[in-house]
A and B are shown apart, each in its own frame.
Chain A
Amino acid sequence: MLEIHRDVCGYCGCCVSVCPEGALELIDAYLEVDDQCTCCGICAKVCPVGALEVRDEEKI
């Protein structure tokens, strides 16, 4: 699953623009991820501050 570290996120929308599924949305100062997310990790890669992380659920 995609974890959003809200204490790190700058709510800039960089991730939203690259999401191939359109699964992310920036709602004012709140980043939302919906069930279209495939955990591809593109958003986590481009985030300027490292606020997104794809977590392997089995390891949690």
Chain B
Amino acid sequence: MRALFKMTWVEFKLFLREPIGAFFTLIFPLMLLFIFGSIFGNEPSELMGGLGSVDVSTPAYIAMIIGTVGLMSGPISLVVYREQGILRRFRAAPLRPVTIIGAQVIIYFLMTLLGVVLLVVAAHLVYHVRLPEAPLAVFAAFCLSLASFLAAGFVLASLMPTARTTQVVAMAIFYPMLFLSGAAGPRQIMPETVQKVSEFLPLTHVNILIGDLWFGEGWSLVSVAVLVGMLVIGGTVASRTFRWE
């Protein structure tokens, strides 16, 4: 327990010293908010059921942060640890893998949560965005989504040989998914066939799940099922394929 606590504390400090990771989790969503907010404003629109552009985008940006952390930051830093021999050194100490992965997961949860809170507070203060109808349910959906994406990300980390390939493959998976899922722009305006395709992407379900709860439309059970499925399968595969070196 002491080892996990110390490890988490050190990982927290390392996270803050790593500008790229901190930027994409904490700063980048705020940048998007202000850029698109200043372009489109937040005037209620008929097309979006009486909501403003920023109203609709804010929960979608949360999905984007979850995708970035789960599919990019998580696996890339794990592979860097493996590639540089850091896991090898940890392994020579009396440490269980769960302590190393656990500390990382805790930090990703806390930092992603911080990124989300910063985003929502800024959106509310500047654009008077509607806060979620059911904040606890949104928080639960956030936890499920992030856990599920981190599990998939750790599978990716097991499969990839180097940090460089991990980065390339993660980007190749993440960016198309980001734009198709509606996390970067509303799905409602996409052609019907594209919408159909996007239903096969996990990030779409993060977007639907959080968006529905945000606007008081309840739990999308299909999305919950998809994300729980990804968590169970991803978690099992990741723990079976974990490599120290």
User: Is this pair of chains taken from one and the same complex?
Assistant: no
Q: Footprint of A on B, CB under 8 Å?
A: none
Q: Footprint of B on A, CB under 8 Å?
A: none
